[in-house]
Every structure is written in C-alpha cells, then in structure tokens.
Amino acid sequence: MAIEILMPALSPTMTEGKIARWLKKEGDTVNNGDVLAEIETDKATMEVEAIEDGIFGRILVPEGTEGVAVNTPIAIMVEEGEAVPDSAAPPATSAAPAPAPAQAGAVAPASAPVAPAAALQASRPANRIVASPLARRIAAAKNVDLSTLKGTGPNGRIVKRDVEAAAAQPAAAPKPGQQANAPLPTGASRTVPHTTMRKVIARRLSESKATIPHFYVSMDVELDALMALRSQLNALSHDEGQDAFKLSVNDMLIKAAALALKQVPEVNASFTEDAMILHEDADISVAVSLDDGLITPIVRAADRKSLKQISQEAKSLVSRARAGKLKPEEFQGGTFSISNMGMFGVKEFAAIVTPPQAAILAIAAGKRQPVVSGDEIKVATVMTVTLSVDHRAVDGAMAAKWLSAFRNIVQAPLALVL
C-alpha cells in the first residue's frame, strides 16, 4: 500500500522546513535506515531516514522548496510492483482530528483522514489572511499588502498569481499627508531572500524583547591570573604529546560560568506562569556565528567536566555547528548562555535573553589598562562582561551576586582545576 512521507518536526519549535536535497530518486529501492533527504530547519540541516523498506515512488515537493509546513506530504513510497499515485491522498469526506506532530522520517498511511477544506475555512477567524507561503514571500519582497487582495485560490486563498497581479498594478498615489516610499537607488541594492534560520532568529528575538522584561548588569573582570593559568596548562598539555590539547580563554570562561551557577543557583532558572524551574545541571549554551545567523550548541553539565573535556567538546560542537551537522539534542535545552565577541575587539555589549533561559552573559574583549589596586596603580588586562537577565525570574541583587561570583572565579582561577 502506498504511504506518504511527511515533512517531519525535527525540533519542538519547527513549524516549517526546506527540502535542501533529495538523496533518493524516483524508482530507487529504499531500505530501512536509508537517508532520504536533507531538511533545512531553523537551526541546522538534518537528515531524514526511512523507517521501512520499499520503492521511492514519487517526489511531491521539489528540492529547494522553502516554507513546507510540518506534516505536509513530501514524497510517496510504494511496495514492489505497486502502482505509484500521482499525488497525495485526497481529503476525506468528514472532519477528523489533526494528526500528532510527525517524528523524523515518520510516514503516515496514504488514506489518513484530513479535515475537509470547508471545515477548515469555517474554523478560521474572520480577520485572518489566508495565503500560501509562496504568496507571502512574494508579497514581502514586492511590498504588497495582502489584506487588500482577494484570493482566487481554493476557498479564497491568496496564491502567487494574485500577488503578482497586484504588484504589476501602478502604485496608488499617496494620500494627503502621507509620504510615498522613496525608490531605491538603481544598482545600489540587491535582495537576498531570508533563510529559514534567519526568519526564526528574527521572530524569536522579537518575541524575547517584546515579552521578557530585560535588565542588564555590567562588571569589569581582570584576566591576567586566568591567562597565566591557561599558559601553564597549555604548556603541560604540549608535553603530553599525542594527547595534547589547547585551551582557549572561552573554554575557561564556560567553566567559570558553570561554577558561578552552582554558587548562585537562582540564576540557573526558567520562568513559567505557574512556577520557577531551577535546573540542577549547568548546561551552557555557547553562541556560534554562522554565515546566515547563529546557533547555540550546548556544553552539558559543564560544572562537572574538566577544562580538557570542555575544550574538546566545545571545539567539536563548533566545528559541527558550522558544518550544519548538529543533532537536535546538541543545541536544544541549555540553561544559561554565553556570547563572546571579544575576538572582534568589542568593548562592551548586551545580548538578548534566549527563552526559556533566564540569563545570558555577554563577554567583550580584554584590554590592557591602568587599574587601582589598594593605594597603587597597576596595568592589568580587563574585560567588561554584561549579564542580561529576565527580571521575572531573577532580581537585580541576585544578578549582581552571580556576576560577583563569576568575577571572583576568573580572578582566582585555581577553582577551575580543583
């Protein structure tokens, strides 16, 4: 019996994805565990595997298609000798409950009931704009207001041809007192379509700033003792030969942040409407810059790991993050974040909290500068760190207490190796 392969939900936050690449062709024999496709999600490019044997009958969604909603049929598999349907199963004649979110590579029977279009149309709010994902992208690119259009698709759905027809109409003259948009200089600009990752980053950061009451606490931290310890540990590692490793300052700051969370566990928290969740493990999310955005792979239980383990794990995570090969569990579920822009010479900055975490630490560059020590002035390497905090979960005094604990660990770094 023919079965549909659905767009899987590869993360809890995924609502749509992009077919980056099909790895099977129509007519290929498929075995359980074979990789069928690469799906670009909001965080990474991930593989979808077959969960049973069969023949890869038909591709329903071409390679490169964006905005494919979760649970949308993307391909059809059949048994040996079975005829291949031309399309996905038609809607059933009566409404049925919506299917549960699909798991990676999940398939559903071709005869799975689907709510009829009339029932879906009746359930929509009166003011909701019903448009295809492609129509929405074209409208955004061509500055077309979808609320002014009348859809010609099924059940009044706005489709590509509606948007293109509206875009081809002469622009209406601005109303009195309303300034028309100035045209872009010819040849001075180009349009770069948003990737799935960029869209999700934009949406989540907007939601974070709009819904989370941020406040910020900054502190100067001296780095000389930590850098001296780093040099000693790297020299010892070099003498070990093939087991050698090289610590970065960031590796040591990850461990320092984790130890500070153990000293001030109230910051290792998540806010919910009903209760505060205090996390036992210090799972540190580390911001990694990518060509089209950023991702935050997680060093799990960093408080219980040695600097060597953190260094090796962090390097592996960063390498696979930039190759788009992280597994969902490697970038989902951290309890605290670190964003380090010191390598760019940034003097100071504040990061945006990533929900459901309660805080994120922004680390700036270390600079040699004069500091007062007792009655003397000395030269020290100083960096400014800023803790961004969800005020619903953490109060000001607690944030200052955590930042003080972090500074003390960095300035007396033997705690990192004991």
Q: Residue 20 CB: number of other CB atoms within 10 A?
A: 19
From 194, 214, 238, 391, the catalytic residue: 391
Distance of alpha carbon 169 from alpha carbon 187, whole angstroms: 23
Helix axes 133-142, 160-168, angle to 10 degrees: 20
Residue 87's Cβ-side half-sphere holds a number of Cα atoms within 13 Å equal to 3
Q: CB neighbours (10 Å) of residue 321? A: 22
Is 391 an annotated catalytic residue? yes
State how far the Cα of 418 lies from the Cα of 53, in Å rounded to an integer.
53
d(CA 69, CA 361) in angstroms, rounded, equals 34
- Among all chains, which residue has been given the structure tokens 């991702």? 295
Type of residue at 329:
E
Asked if residue 278 lies in contact with residue 265, where contact means CB atoms within 8 angstroms, the answer is yes
Encoded amino acid at 79, one letter: E
* Residue 27 DSSP code: T
Catalytic residues: 391
